[in-house]
Amino acid sequence: MDLVLEPGGEKTVLVYRALRAAIVDGRLPAGHRLPPTRALATDLGVSRGSVASAYERLAAEGYLVSRVGSGTYVTEMPVAPGPRRAPADPLRPRPGWRLTPQPVSGEQPAPRYDFRTGIPDAGLFPFDTWRRLVAAELRLGANSPGMYAAPAGHPALRAAIARYLGVSRSIRAAADDMVITNGTQHALDLIARVLLRPGDVVAVEDPGYPPARTLFAAHGCRVVPVPVDEQGLVVTALPAGCRLVYATPSHQFPLGRPMSLGRRRELLDWARRRATAIVEDDYDSEFRYAARPLEPLYHLDTAGRVLYAGTFSKSMLPSIRTGFVLVPPGLRDALCAARQLGDGYGSPAIQAALARFIDDGELARHVRRAGREYGRRQARIVARLSAMPRLEVLPSAAGLHVTALLRDGPAAPVVAAAAAAGLAVEDLAGYSYATSQAGFVFGLGGATLIDEGLAVFAALLDRHA
């Protein structure tokens, strides 16, 4: 217990005042056991008699109670707090940072019918295997405990991811091409810090991924929405003077369509001619239910314009907080320095365990097993939604969500009514910047009561016709 005595004055009174203030403002809660008088006297540098007298006075006033053979405790009886001066609050964030944290999925209990996006099913994850690998690395003391680690990430993990991408995504990359991050959003923040200046133009898909749009705007960039059609990002609509293009070509979020091969080549040619960077977010593409994915932009790029970002939040768990970004050689040192200046480095034990998880084939096995279950859920959701005349279900061969356009009327009233009925579904308008498409986005990672939930949704949709 740390108490600060006022300077000067009689010691018993000073100890009394310090203890009483700590009790009144809640620093010493009801039921808290005070230290013995001799111990507190030694800590405060006063006589034992001063502390004993302060205890006796507080006990007489009802703040403390002594229990024979047990000690002295703060009383259980309520004590009215004294007047407190409101603290001054003169500090404010700079313009552009008047933001508040958004609600996250772990803050509240899951709804009964959970169609939120971005949530994998933790029940499908091989926790026993993962715990064994992490425990082994902690026992081994991954990356020399007591020493600082490299900001680029654990060498074994960078090499394992490079091999995995070569097999799963046909990407030829070396460990030195990679920087380990705390996820895709962290990668975007590092890229913005080293590549963009306030006022730079950044193009984003519309509709698209709102956190990316918000992040670039918070860095002072001018964010320009670019429409998406059946072939992906409309390259002819990209703004002049664009410094960076953010896209999700493998599985466009939230519409779900892949960018066509022709459109990919058009985008790469556009970026080469204008010396523009492209951030390729390989969003949600691990789980595929139909044809193999088209070649990533990173694989097709011959001009060094593409940064390829990925994460294990969906293929494993969000709590692992591990992702990566493949960067051109000219940016690698700057990104590593930005990582070092920000949070130093990630968890060596987690990164080493993840390297073994990949190299032992556990990640590939988990993706196959979970993918089969997600495929069944996607098929059921698509079948139920396709039977609703007011909806147009957009085709999607991958990912953990299904998008359906609403043929008439706004989606917001249905979404609000669904929330009141314990059903979480997302409004497509929440992903739009300048477009006005009405529709719904259904996540399938947390969806278990699919038939029952979609029956509730269908009734609400009819009610708000």
**Alpha carbon distance 50, 330 (integer Å):** 68
- Please name each of the domains of the chain with its CATH number: 11-74 (1.10.10.10), 125-363 (3.40.640.10), 365-463 (3.90.1150.10)
pLDDT at 397: 83
C-alpha dist (Å) from residue 441 to 282, 404, 425: 19, 7, 6
β-pairing verdict for 178-181 and 323-326: antiparallel
**Alpha carbon distance 370, 125 (integer Å):** 8
pLDDT at 458: 97
pLDDT at 95: 78
pLDDT at 55: 94
The secondary structure of residue 294, as a DSSP letter, is: P
Does the pLDDT at position 156 exceed 90? yes
C-alpha dist (Å) from residue 408 to 73, 198, 390, 442: 67, 40, 7, 18
Closest by CA to 178, choosing from 323, 70, 291, is 323
Inter-residue contact 378 to 402 (CB < 8 Å): yes
Closest by CA to 166, choosing from 289, 260, 295, is 295
Phi, psi torsion values for 179, nearest 5 degrees: -125, 125
27-86 pLDDT, tens digit per residue, is: 898 889 999 999 999 999 999 999 999 999 999 999 999 988 889 999 986 555 555 555
SS3 state at 392: strand
Q: For the whole model, what pTM was predicted?
A: 0.84
86-113 pLDDT, tens digit per residue, is: 567 788 888 777 777 877 766 778 899 9
Inter-residue contact 73 to 31 (CB < 8 Å): yes
pLDDT at 73: 92
Does the pLDDT at position 422 exceed 80? yes
pLDDT at 25: 84
pLDDT at 332: 95
Closest by CA to 82, choosing from 29, 22, 30, is 22
**Alpha carbon distance 419, 400 (integer Å):** 20
pLDDT at 261: 94
pLDDT at 4: 84
358-392 pLDDT, tens digit per residue, is: 999 999 999 999 999 999 999 999 999 999 999 99
Does the pLDDT at position 442 exceed 80? yes
**Alpha carbon distance 377, 370 (integer Å):** 11
Does the pLDDT at position 142 exceed 60? no
pLDDT at 208: 95
Q: Which amino acid is at 68?
A: V
pLDDT band at 144 (very low <50, low <70, confident <90, very high): low
**What average pLDDT score do residues 407-418 get?**
94
**Alpha carbon distance 309, 185 (integer Å):** 9
Does the pLDDT at position 431 exceed 60? yes
276-310 pLDDT, tens digit per residue, is: 999 999 887 788 887 676 789 999 999 999 999 99
**Alpha carbon distance 192, 329 (integer Å):** 17
Token couple for 245: 């293009």
The contacts found for 231-237 with CB under 8 angstroms, 24 or more apart, are 231/257, 231/259, 231/260, 231/262, 231/263, 232/257, 232/258, 232/259, 232/260, 232/263, 232/264, 233/205, 233/259, 233/263, 233/267, 235/263, 235/266, 235/267, 235/270
Q: Which amino acid is at 160?
A: A
Does the pLDDT at position 146 exceed 70? no
**Alpha carbon distance 281, 264 (integer Å):** 13
Phi, psi torsion values for 181, nearest 5 degrees: -130, 180
Indicate the average pLDDT of the chain.
Answer: 91
C-alpha dist (Å) from residue 195 to 100, 188, 310: 25, 10, 19
> Percent of the chain, pLDDT > 90?
75
In whole angstroms, how large is the CA radius of gyration of the chain? 29
pLDDT at 214: 94
**Alpha carbon distance 245, 239 (integer Å):** 10
| Cβ neighbours of 423 (radius 10 Å) | 22
| Cβ neighbours of 136 (radius 10 Å) | 14
339-352 pLDDT, tens digit per residue, is: 999 999 999 999 99
252-269 pLDDT, tens digit per residue, is: 999 998 999 999 999 999
